[in-house]
C-alpha cells in the first residue's frame, strides 16, 4: 500500500508509528520543519515554545507511548507552581493535580525524534488532490505532481483539509462542520533576570490567557524567555490585524499582568496561529472513506490537545492496518 500523508505534526507522526511495516509512506509538510503546533522558535540563547506549552497524559496508550525507549528521552515532567492572575491582578496558586509534560529540550524534540528516517518532503504545501479511488495524485504550490497513491490522509487542521479533500469524499461535510480558533503568541527575551511573581499563570479577564517562563522548563538554557498567549476570543476578534499593532497591544497587557516594565526586551517576536484550538470537534476518532482511499486525522477530530492528536493518528493507523493485512 502506498500512502501519502499531508502534514508532519504529531497526529501524522503517530500514524506512521502504528502503521504496519509493509506500507510505503510519503509525508508532505508545508513548513520547513516537523511538529506543526508542537513548535519552538529560537533566537540566540532564547527559546520559546510558541505553540503548545505542555501536555497531559490520560490514556493507557499514551502513557505506554511516552515510555518507549526512543520517545522517553525527549519528554520531561514540568514541575512548577501554576498561578491564576485575577481581573484585579491578584495572584492565586492553582491546585494543579495534573502532571504536566514538555518536550526536552524543547517541544519540537518529540516530533523531531518521531520523524527520524521518514520520507518527508518539507516546504511542500499540497494545494490539490486529483484522481480517482485509490489512485490519487497530489499537487504542490509550485505545480509539482506526486503519485499515484492508494491512500491520501490529511492531517492538516480541518479548515485546511476541507480546502483540498475532494468533495466526492464521504466525510467532506464532516470537515466543514469542525470549528477551530486562533491564538497569538508574544515572545520576549531578556538578557537580565526579571523579578516575576510567578513561573506560569493563567489570566482572567484579559486578552492574555497564559503567561510562562519558558526558560524554567527542564534542560533549557537559563536565558529569560517569556511566552504570552492570547485567548482564542481575543485572537478571533483581532485575527486580521497587523502584527505590529497586535504585538503592541499584547505587550501593554503583558506589562499590566506581570506588574513589570517589559518594554526593554532584547528580543521580541509575535506568531499568529490561525488554527490553534478546537471549538467544535468532529466527534469521531478520525474520518475515513475506505471506498475512495481518503482519510483525515488530527486533534480536531476529538479535542484540541496533544493527546487527542496522538489518539487520532494511532486509531487511524490501527484501522488502516486491517485494510493492508
Ligand atoms: C498556541 C497553542 C497552544 C496550545 N497549547 C496546548 C497545550 O497547552 N496542551 C495541549 O495538549 N495542546 C495544546 N495545543 C494544541 C496542540 O498543539 C495540538 O493539539 C497538536 O499539536 C495538534 O497536532 P496535529 O498533528 O493534529 O496538527 P498540527 O500540529 O497542526 O499538524 C498539522 C501539520 O499539517 C501541515 N499542513 C497544513 N496544511 C498543509 C498542506 N496543505 N500541505 C502540507 N502540510 C500542511 C502543518 O504545517 C502542520 O505541520 C496548543 C496549540 C497552540 C497553537
Per residue, what are the HEC states of 62-131?
A: HHHHHCCCCCHHHEEECCCCEEEECCCCCEEECCCCCCCEEECCCCCHHHHHHCCCCCEEECCCEEEEEE
Which of 281, 274, 284, 272 is closest to 305 using CA atoms? 281
| 3-class secondary-structure state, position 13 | helix
Bond before 148 cis per omega within 30 degrees:
yes
Residues 235 and 94 in one domain: yes
The predicted-structure confidence for 194-251, as pLDDT tens digits, reads as follows: 999 999 999 999 999 999 999 999 977 779 999 999 999 999 999 999 999 999 999 9
Residues 29 and 174 in one domain: yes
Residues 74 and 129 in one domain: no
Q: Which of 4, 52, 296 to mutate to test the pocket of ligand 1 (most atoms within 8 A of CB)?
A: 52
pTM for the predicted model, two decimal places: 0.97
Residues 133 and 53 in one domain: no
Distance 91 CA to ligand 1 centre (A): 31
Dist CA 301 CA 180 (whole Å): 11
Query: pLDDT tens digits for the chain (325 residues)?
Result: 999 999 999 999 999 999 987 789 999 999 999 999 999 999 999 999 999 999 999 999 999 999 999 999 999 999 999 999 999 889 999 988 899 999 999 999 999 999 999 999 999 999 999 999 999 999 999 999 999 999 999 999 999 999 999 999 999 999 999 999 999 999 999 999 999 999 999 999 999 999 999 999 997 777 999 999 999 999 999 999 999 999 999 999 999 999 999 999 999 999 999 999 999 999 999 999 999 999 999 999 999 999 999 999 999 999 999 987 6
- Residue 194 C-alpha cell reads as 526579571
Dist CA 214 CA 210 (whole Å): 12
CATH at residue 7? 3.50.50.60
Residues 187 and 266 in one domain: yes
Q: Looking at ligand 1, which atom is closest to the CA of residue 12? A: 25
Ligand 1 pocket by Cβ (under 6 Å):
6-12, 28-31, 36-38, 51-55, 125-126, 155-157, 160, 164, 183, 185, 229, 273, 276, 298-299, 304-306, 309
Question: What pLDDT is stored for residue 176 in this prediction?
Answer: 97
**Residue where a domain terminates, one of 280, 301, 316:** 280
Which of 190, 189, 209 is closest to 201 using CA atoms? 209
Could you give the angle at which helices 10-18 and 306-324 cross, rounded to 10 degrees?
40
Q: Whose CA is nearest to atom 7 of ligand 1?
A: 52
Hey, what long-range contacts does 303-307 have (CB within 8 A, 24 or more apart)? Answer: 303/278, 304/180, 304/276, 304/277, 304/278, 305/55, 305/56, 306/10, 306/38, 306/52, 306/55, 307/55, 307/56, 307/57, 307/58, 307/59, 307/62
Domain residue limits at 295:
1-34+115-178+282-325
Domain count, the chain: 2
Residues 76 and 201 in one domain: yes
**Residue where a domain terminates, one of 245, 265, 280:** 280
Phi first, then psi, for residue 271 (nearest 5°) are: -125, 135
Residues 230 and 142 in one domain: no
Question: What pLDDT is stored for residue 60 in this prediction?
Answer: 98
Question: What pLDDT is stored for residue 325 in this prediction?
Answer: 65
Residues 42 and 139 in one domain: no
Contacts of 125 (CB under 8 A, 6+ apart): 28, 30, 140, 141
Which of 184, 144, 182 is closest to 279 using CA atoms? 182
Residues 101 and 209 in one domain: yes
Distance 157 CA to ligand 1 centre (A): 7
Q: Looking at ligand 1, which atom is closest to the CA of residue 309? A: 26
- Residue 83 C-alpha cell reads as 498561578
Residues 94 and 183 in one domain: yes
Which of 207, 182, 160, 163 is closest to 278 using CA atoms? 182
CATH at residue 224? 3.90.660.10
Residues 124 and 211 in one domain: no
Q: Looking at ligand 1, which atom is closest to the CA of residue 39? A: 17
Residues 90 and 215 in one domain: yes
Q: Whose CA is nearest to atom 51 of ligand 1?
A: 52
For residue 241, count CB atoms less than 10 angstroms from its CB and return exposed for 0-12, middle for 13-18, buried for 19 or more: middle
Amino acid at each position: 500500500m502506498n500512502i501519502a500523508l499531508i502534514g508532519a505534526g504529531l497526529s501524522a507522526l503517530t500514524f506512521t508509528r502504528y502503521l504496519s511495516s509493509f506500507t510505503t509512506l510519503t509525508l508532505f509538510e508545508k513548513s520547513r520543519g516537523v511538529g506543526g503546533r508542537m513548535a519552538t522558535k529560537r533566537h540566540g540563547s532564547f527559546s520559546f515554545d510558541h505553540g503548545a506549552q505542555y501536555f497531559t497524559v490520560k490514556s493507557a496508550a499514551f502513557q505506554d507511548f511516552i515510555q518507549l525507549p526512543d520517545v522517553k528521552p525527549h519528554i520531561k515532567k514540568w514541575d512548577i507552581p501554576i498561578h491564576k492572575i485575577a481581573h484585579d491582578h491578584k495572584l492565586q496558586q492553582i491546585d494543579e493535580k495534573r502532571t504536566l509534560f514538555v518536550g526536552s529540550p524543547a517541544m519540537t524534540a518529540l516530533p523531531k525524534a518521531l520523524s527520524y528516517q521518514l520520507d518527508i518532503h518539507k516546504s511542500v504545501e499540497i494545494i490539490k488532490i486529483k484522481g480517482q479511488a485509490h489512485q490519487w495524485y497530489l499537487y504542490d504550490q509550485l505545480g509539482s505532481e506526486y503519485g499515484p497513491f492508494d491512500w491520501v490522509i490529511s492531517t492538516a487542521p480541518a479548515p485546511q483539509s476541507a480546502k483540498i479533500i475532494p468533495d466526492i469524499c464521504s466525510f467532506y461535510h464532516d470537515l466543514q462542520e469542525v470549528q477551530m480558533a486562533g491564538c497569538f503568541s508574544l515572545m520576549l527575551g531578556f538578557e537580565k533576570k526579571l523579578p516575576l511573581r510567578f513561573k506560569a499563570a493563567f489570566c482572567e479577564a484579559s486578552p492574555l490567557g497564559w503567561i510562562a517562563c519558558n526558560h524554567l522548563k527542564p534542560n533549557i538554557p537559563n536565558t529569560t524567555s517569556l511566552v504570552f498567549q492570547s485567548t482564542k476570543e481575543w485572537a478571533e476578534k483581532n485575527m486580521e490585524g497587523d502584527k505590529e499593532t497586535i504585538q503592541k497591544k499584547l505587550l501593554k497587557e503583558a506589562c499590566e499582568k506581570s506588574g513589570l516594565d517589559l518594554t526593554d526586551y532584547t528580543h521580541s517576536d509575535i506568531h499568529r496561529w490561525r488554527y490553534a484550538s478546537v471549538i467544535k470537534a468532529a466527534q469521531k476518532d478520525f474520518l475515513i472513506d475506505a471506498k475512495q482511499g481518503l482519510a483525515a486525522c488530527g486533534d480536531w477530530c476529538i479535542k484540541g490537545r496533544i493527546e487527542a492528536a496522538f489518539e487520532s493518528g494511532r486509531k487511524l493507523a490501527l484501522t488502516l492496518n486491517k485494510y493492508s493485512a
